[in-house]
Amino acid sequence: MFLGIDLGTGSVKALLIDGSGRAVAEASRTYAVRSPVPGYAETAVEAWWTATVAAVRECCAGRGDDVQGIGLSGQAHGVVVLDKNDQPLRPAILWADQRATAQMEEILALPAAIRLPLANPVVTGMAGLSLMWLRDNEPATFAAIRRALSPKDWLRFVMTGEVATEPSDASMTLLYDIVEDQWSTELIRKVGIDPDILSPIVESSSVAGRLTNVRAEELGLRPGIPVAAGLSDTAACLFGMGQINPGATILQIGSGIQIMAVTDRIEPKLQPFYNSYRGIGRSLYVMAAMQNGGTVFEWARGVLGATWPEMYEGAFESGEGHGGVTFLPYAAGERAPLLDPDATAVWANMRLGCSRNQIIRSVFDGVAMAIRDSWDALKREGITAPHMLLAGGGSGDPRWRRLLADTIQVPLKPALDAGSATLGAAYLGGMAAGHWTQPADIPFAAATDPMILPRPVDGLDEDLAHFRGIYRGLKQSSRPTI
């Protein structure tokens, strides 16, 4: 059996699979993301280990001796800094952290020849910028750093005592040359970071250490189990669904929303709205990341005082439609395609006769329009797809799926249960154990639900133009909010 561990933002998940790839058991544990200052996002790394031990023990109860390999995935962009004794110097700074705005300007001021190979937008929350913030604001901490690790690389280090990273996490730090597939040493030195604190890069499926005696006892497993280097969460999700060949495109809907497209080449740009990352086997994928998925639905639901059944009833069963109300879903700012952290949520075109159900429907329409906006922007970059695999916990309702297909105007293949980051990690565990030697050997689960074909929608182009026009008008306005 093979164990996958996914170290997420708010919880860790453990999944045990057998040699045929079938799930045998799973468990999860939560932990807090703290914000000691508005805009900060941190977690005490000790909480990660405590939660991992509990989740693995529950998942593998009575089967610990059967685990032959372990794979990892985890939240990207974050950074854990360790001292000379390999102890954490402070809580981990996470991907959602917004503190490093001044450091963004420093990167943007570098010569184009240094910035271009990064092939990623300069946005807060990336490990490189967080390290620069420590340089400027916690100099004693910065001077004491011996190692800087991503969250899942820290977890593997705790489990094995070995230090490494792999291309998917490295490519998400803003310290990585995606063209040359290596650390961007020139940029790293320019911003005053010691390259020696960064880990050597190995293949994601390679054995990057073995479970130590002490950690094995804590986890309830055998010592010496090989642990794969692992993948970042989005790359592990692609791998878990078997979407690893150029042309594969995923629409994943969770707290945030991602459109991920596997590609065979990257054309670097200085400040693209999309991300360019490495995946399994050093493959490439581009990702349009939208911040307002489940988070904005939860926010709007709270504002409207609606239960989830009331949200779906009002949006799809009441027959009222949106009544002309337009919703911009940018309650958390927005990345793709706007790259605008100051964007806000807006309800527009509301009149006295506007009903609660129409406002509810406008939320679903607004999120779907934002996805279409990102997809159109990706198409302008040459990304195409005959269909998208639809995944994520926020994609389950068939009425919502239908609205998405009709708005995006791309066939959607539901794959809610066909794969996950934790499953991708478990597959890596099987590869580390030698059970599978290459991705082609893995019996990836297939999506079984029928394809959702888009229908013609009268006035869709006009609605989309209106949606975009409201944002542009507000952006040009002298008023910062509405």
pLDDT in tens, 287-297: 999 989 998 99
Q: To 10 degrees, the CA torsion angle through 431, 432, 435, 441? A: 10
Q: Quick one: pLDDT at residue 287?
A: 96
| The token pair that represents 457 in the structure block | 């929608």
- Residue 342, pLDDT > 90, answer no
Alpha helices in 391-459 (DSSP H): 398-408, 421-432
Res. 394 pLDDT band, cuts 50 70 90: confident
Average pLDDT over residues 330-350: 92
Res. 160 pLDDT band, cuts 50 70 90: very high
| The token pair that represents 157 in the structure block | 């280090």
Length of the chain: 482
Are 14 and 70 in contact by the 8 Å Cβ rule? The answer is no
- Residue 479, pLDDT > 70, answer no
In whole angstroms, give the CA distance from residue 101 to residue 228: 34
- Residue 114, pLDDT > 80, answer yes
**β-bridge mates for residue 3, sequence order:** 16, 70
Q: Residue 391's closest CA among 366, 364, 424, 362?
A: 424
- Residue 369, pLDDT > 90, answer yes
Question: pLDDT by residue (tens digit) across 178-214?
Answer: 989 999 999 999 999 999 999 999 999 999 999 999 9
Q: How many CA atoms lie within 13 A of 175 on its CB side?
A: 33
- Residue 478, pLDDT > 70, answer no
Q: Residue 220's closest CA among 360, 27, 31, 33?
A: 27
Contact partners, residue 145, CB within 8 Å, separation at least 6: 81, 82, 83, 89, 131, 134, 194, 197
Res. 445 pLDDT band, cuts 50 70 90: confident
Q: How many CA atoms lie within 13 A of 40 on its CB side?
A: 13
Average pLDDT over residues 139-163: 98
Q: Quick one: pLDDT at residue 417?
A: 60
Question: pLDDT by residue (tens digit) across 406-437?
Answer: 999 999 999 866 568 999 999 999 999 999 99
**Residue 449: strand, helix, or coil:** coil
- Residue 482, pLDDT > 50, answer no
Q: Report all structural domains of the chain as residue ranges with CATH numbers, in order of start.
A: 2-234 (3.30.420.40), 242-417+452-482 (3.30.420.40)
Q: In sequence order, what E strands does 138-193 have?
A: 147-149, 176-177, 182-183
- Residue 255, pLDDT > 90, answer no
Q: Quick one: pLDDT at residue 419?
A: 64
In whole angstroms, give the CA distance from residue 404 to residue 224: 47
- Residue 59, pLDDT > 60, answer yes
Contact partners, residue 33, CB within 8 Å, separation at least 6: 9, 10, 41, 42, 43, 94, 96
Beta-strand pair 2-7/69-74: parallel
Average pLDDT over residues 468-473: 96
Q: Quick one: pLDDT at residue 341?
A: 82
**Sign of dihedral through CA atoms 411, 417, 420, 423?**
negative
Average pLDDT over residues 276-291: 94
Q: In sequence order, what E strands does 254-375 have?
A: 257-263, 275-278, 284-290, 326-329, 345-348
Using CA atoms, how far residue 240 sits from 133, 153, 186, 217, in Å, is: 34, 19, 35, 28
In whole angstroms, give the CA distance from residue 86 to residue 157: 10
Question: pLDDT by residue (tens digit) across 220-229?
Answer: 999 999 999 9
Res. 481 pLDDT band, cuts 50 70 90: very low
In whole angstroms, give the CA distance from residue 15 to residue 70: 10
The per-residue pLDDT of the chain, averaged, comes to: 94
